[in-house]
Structure 1
Amino acid sequence: MLLRQLFDPETSTYTYLIADMSAKEAALVDPVLEQVERDAKLIDELGLTLKYCLETHIHADHVTGTGELRKLKGCQGVLPENAKVDCADCFIKDGEVLKVGKIEIKAISTLGHTDCHMAYLVNNDSLLTGDALLIRGCGRTDFQSGDAGTLYDHITQKLFTLSDDTLVYPGHDYRGQTVSTIGEEKQFNPRFVGHNRDSFIELMSNLNLPNPKKIAEAVPANQGCGKVAATV
């Protein structure tokens, strides 16, 4: 299995290329519009057929590259169930498994950062957590129908119950960190260590973070799978 982590420096977004090198099939998770040329070039260089573009959720900080990659590569755009979009080729449900060659990608509902969010467990040992669980952090819950209590429940009851040696690959990192483990995050993540559900909700309600710079553009564009509205 190939699992390649790709980075967009403007938005600190990680895109993941998952590929079965024997079957020459691939999936991209959370592609970024400005990096479509990079991603398509890598896929071509490796001789891969892009089968899926998977979204963890409707992003507020970058515009997805799914729409453009679908045009270029003929892949399917896959979004979490309940995502408020009408351009997806299909929606994935909690517990559903997609296959890329012999690789199994299992969707795990991780609501709370937004009201439609999936983490993806690849071959039972690598977890792409999107914006739900970050390295020594977690996604914010103060917009896009976020809910701190729901996020706490889903992370502690669904993600923290996975094997401690499960690798954690986040959707973003702002400090140069690339990978962690479930065991590390249970032991060292300050958003959860020493907190119960009530204190976590209080913590999250007092972060006072500024809105993402691209939120006004990104959310409506991503509801159209990356179609940016024309400006007059």
Structure 2
Amino acid sequence: MIFRQLFEADTSTYTYLIACERTREAALIDPVLSEMDQYLAVLKELDLKLAYTLETHVHADHITASGKLREVLGSRSVVHRDGGAQCADILVDDGDTLSVGDLQIEVRHTPGHTNGCVSYVMADRVFTGDALLIGGCGRTDFQQGDPGKLYDNIHGKLFSLPPETLVYPGHDYQGNTVSTIGREMAENPRLGGGKQRDEFIQLMTNLNMAYPRHIDRALPANQACGNVNS
């Protein structure tokens, strides 16, 4: 497998490139519109054909590049059916699978941050978007957030993965790049170390975080697959 972890500094967003070495088919997970030139350059450098853009959810902090990549390269955009982006080419649900050449990707529906959150599971790794972060998790106070639902899905659908499974999140604000399921189960301050559901709900309910600074522009654009004029 070809793998690259790319970073957009303004919103501390990770985008992931995965590709099949044999077929040269590729997918980008959570691409950011401002980074289009970087994606096109990497795909050209590695001689890859972009088959899919995979969204972990409809984002409130950046505008997706999925629509522009579809326009330029003919890739197909993938969003969960509850995400609110009917413009996507493929609306997935829990348990669906996608093939990128010889690579298999399982969709796990992990709502709680938003209704349409998914995690993408591969043989040795999981891309968790904003559901499970390294030492944290996504906020639950807007965009259909539900702390109880997030707790249940992280414990039921992510912490049930093998402990050595690599965790690649949608964001990190401290320079971390990768964790493991076992480490997050043991050490995550919000969710690990035996943290009980009611404790988690109380914690998340009292975070009192600032209003997302890009949400008023990003959310409607992402519901239109990155069309900033919508």
Could you give the per-residue CA deviations for residues 126-166 of structure 1, whole angstroms, max 9, x where no partner exists?
Answer: 10000000000000000001100000000011100100000
Distance in 2 of aligned mates of 1:203 and 1:31: 31
Distance in 2 of aligned mates of 1:33 and 1:212: 18
Distance in 1 of aligned mates of 2:57 and 2:151: 17
Which residue of structure 2 aligns with residue 207 of structure 1? 207
Give the CA deviation at 1:213: 1.2
Which residue of structure 2 aligns with residue 225 of structure 1? 225
Structure 1 position 179 matched with structure 2 position 202 = no
Which residue of structure 1 aligns with residue 81 of structure 2? 81
Distance in 1 of aligned mates of 2:132 and 2:72: 31
Query: In the alignment, residue 147 of structure 1 is paired with which amino acid?
Result: D
Give the CA deviation at 1:194: 4.2
Query: In the alignment, residue 212 of structure 1 is paired with which amino acid?
Result: P
Query: In the alignment, residue 198 of structure 1 is paired with which amino acid?
Result: D
Distance in 1 of aligned mates of 2:3 and 2:147: 30
Matches within 5 A, 1:1-232: 1-122=1-122, 124-192=123-191, 193-229=193-229
Query: In the alignment, residue 171 of structure 1 is paired with which amino acid?
Result: G
Give the CA deviation at 1:44: 1.1
User: How many aligned residue pairs are there?
Assistant: 229
Query: In the alignment, residue 224 of structure 1 is paired with which amino acid?
Result: A
- Per the normalisation by structure 2, the TM-score is 0.98
SS in 2 for 1:128: strand
Could you give the per-residue CA deviations for residues 171-200 of structure 1, whole angstroms, max 9, x where no partner exists?
Answer: 000000000000000010000134211110
Give the CA deviation at 1:84: 1.3
Could you give the per-residue CA deviations for residues 187-223 of structure 1, whole angstroms, max 9, x where no partner exists?
Answer: 1000013421111000000111112210110000000
Give the CA deviation at 1:229: 2.5
SS in 1 for 2:127: strand
Query: In the alignment, residue 60 of structure 1 is paired with which amino acid?
Result: A
- Per the normalisation by structure 1, the TM-score is 0.97
Give the CA deviation at 1:228: 0.7
Distance in 2 of aligned mates of 1:82 and 1:139: 17
Unaligned runs of 5+ in 1: none
Let me know the Cα RMSD of the aligned residues: 0.9
Query: In the alignment, residue 17 of structure 1 is paired with which amino acid?
Result: L
Give the CA deviation at 1:82: 1.5
Could you tell which deviates more after superposition, 194-203 or 153-162? 194-203
Unaligned runs of 5+ in 2: none
Q: Which runs of 4+ in 1 moved over 3 A?
A: none
Could you tell which deviates more after superposition, 133-142 or 36-45? 36-45
